[in-house]
């Protein structure tokens, strides 16, 4: 038999027989997640072939931070900018003390949050006075840390994160969420599992959210599905944020779904990637998805998000499921 190579892109990923053995163990541990991972890989390759590798154009606004604050109806220059500098310094110190750095391809083949992306989340959380925020994708927890600090300083709301460590690289498990200190975890719920498994039920139980952040698997299929699931339960004036929006067509397809979404494309500080933001119109008709139930996820609560019973914030030594 020829040599079987790992396809996850992580330099620590196994090859050959070890890869096949690890894949089999992952499938036995959680067939739905493992199957979805395979479907994602096939979908990505099929779309790349169909579109001949073509990706979205560079839409990023030169003054995206000013435009973001105008979108939110917030003052510019941002009064919270100076506090973010201290938060980012704290992130770097936490990572350095753990023998880690912040950067691209720093969690296997995945990136940590770019400073520009993190800064956008910081401002959005503050200006929305968010009570309930959801993110998919955690990795080292850099963006989680930034949002949690913004929630603590501002609205006092809650962050709900969905993620799993790499399914074939257990060496990465101990790195998950290392950027999030214990003192911030009282307002954090970390749910293990793929977004396909965890997101629908979480949205049902919360009823309404103010912010949704996609930073999990960056495929057209996954991005479009997550945004379509979250949007009906997003409060009027709420925001969705998509990291690495220029590596797939998910955000572009999502924008075609209605005229109630105001988009903004932004450039990461290092100029290597774009992220995208969409704000939901504050003026919705009486039979809008938020007021009704076109999501298929259950009727949205008319008030604030409801706490999730039985939620947990602790991180076990080893995950009990496979990667997203």
List pLDDT tens digits, range 68-112.
999 999 999 999 999 999 999 999 999 899 888 787 866 555 677
- 192: which strand partners? 163
Distance CA 201, CA 133 (A): 15
Q: Please name the residue ranges forming H helices in the chain.
A: 16-29, 31-50, 64-72, 81-97, 115-128, 142-153, 195-206, 220-230, 250-255
List pLDDT tens digits, range 15-37.
455 555 655 665 556 777 777 77
The CATH fold of domain 1-324: Rossmann fold (3.40.50)
Distance CA 128, CA 73 (A): 10
Say how many CA atoms lie within 13 Å of 117 toward its Cβ. Answer: 27
Q: Do residues 216 and 191 lie in contact, with contact meaning Cβ atoms separated by under 8 Å? A: no
Secondary structure (DSSP) of 17-62? HHHHHHHHHHHHH-HHHHHHHHHHHHHHHHHHHHTTT--------T
Distance CA 192, CA 159 (A): 14
Q: Do residues 227 and 239 lie in contact, with contact meaning Cβ atoms separated by under 8 Å? A: no
| Burial 7-23, CB ≥16 within 10 A → b, else e | ebebeebbeeeebeebb
Domain boundaries, the chain: 1-324
- For tokens 């089999």, name the residue: 24
Neighbour tally for 262: CB within 10 Å: 14
List pLDDT tens digits, range 222-242.
999 999 999 999 999 999 999
Give the sign of the dihedral formed by CA 121, CA 124, CA 130, CA 134: negative
pTM of the model: 0.81
pLDDT band of residue 13 (cuts 50, 70, 90) is: low
Distance CA 307, CA 98 (A): 32
pLDDT at 309 over 80: no
Percent with pLDDT over 90 in the chain: 54
Distance CA 147, CA 153 (A): 10
Phi/psi at 52 (5° precision):
55, 40
pLDDT at 277 over 90: yes
Distance CA 110, CA 77 (A): 32
């Amino acid at each position: 038999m020829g040599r079987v190579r790992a396809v996850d892109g992580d330099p620590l990923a196994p090859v050959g027989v070890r890869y096949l053995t690890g894949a089999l163990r992952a499938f036995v541990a959680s067939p739905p997640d493992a199957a979805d991972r395979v479907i994602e890989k096939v979908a990505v390759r099929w779309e790349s072939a169909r579109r001949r590798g073509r990706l979205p154009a560079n839409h990023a606004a030169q003054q995206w931070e000013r435009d973001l604050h105008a979108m939110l109806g917030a003052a510019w220059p941002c009064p919270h900018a100076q506090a973010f500098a201290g938060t980012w310094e704290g992130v770097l110190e936490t990572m350095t003390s753990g023998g880690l750095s912040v950067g691209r391809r720093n969690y296997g083949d995945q990136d940590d949050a770019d400073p520009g992306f993190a800064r956008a989340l910081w401002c959005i959380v503050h200006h929305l006075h968010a009570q309930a925020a959801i993110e998919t994708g955690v990795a080292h927890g850099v963006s989680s840390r930034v949002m949690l600090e913004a929630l603590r300083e501002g609205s006092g709301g809650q962050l709900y994160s969905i993620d799993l460590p790499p399914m074939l690289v257990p060496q990465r498990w101990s790195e998950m969420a290392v950027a999030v200190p214990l003192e911030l975890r009282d307002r954090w719920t970390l749910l293990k599992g793929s977004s396909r498994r965890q997101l629908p039920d979480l949205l049902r139980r919360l009823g309404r959210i103010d912010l949704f952040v996609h930073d999990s698997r960056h495929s057209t299929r996954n991005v479009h599905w997550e945004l379509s699931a979250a949007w009906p339960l997003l409060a009027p004036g709420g925001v969705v944020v998509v990291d690495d929006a220029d590596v797939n067509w998910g955000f572009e397809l999502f924008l075609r779904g209605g005229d109630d979404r105001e988009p903004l494309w932004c450039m990461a500080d290092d100029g290597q990637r774009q992220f995208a933001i969409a704000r939901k119109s504050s003026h919705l008709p009486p039979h809008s998805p938020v007021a009704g139930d076109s999501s298929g996820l259950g009727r949205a609560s008319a008030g604030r998000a409801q706490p999730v019973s039985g939620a947990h914030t602790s991180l076990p030594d080893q995950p009990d499921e496979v990667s997203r």
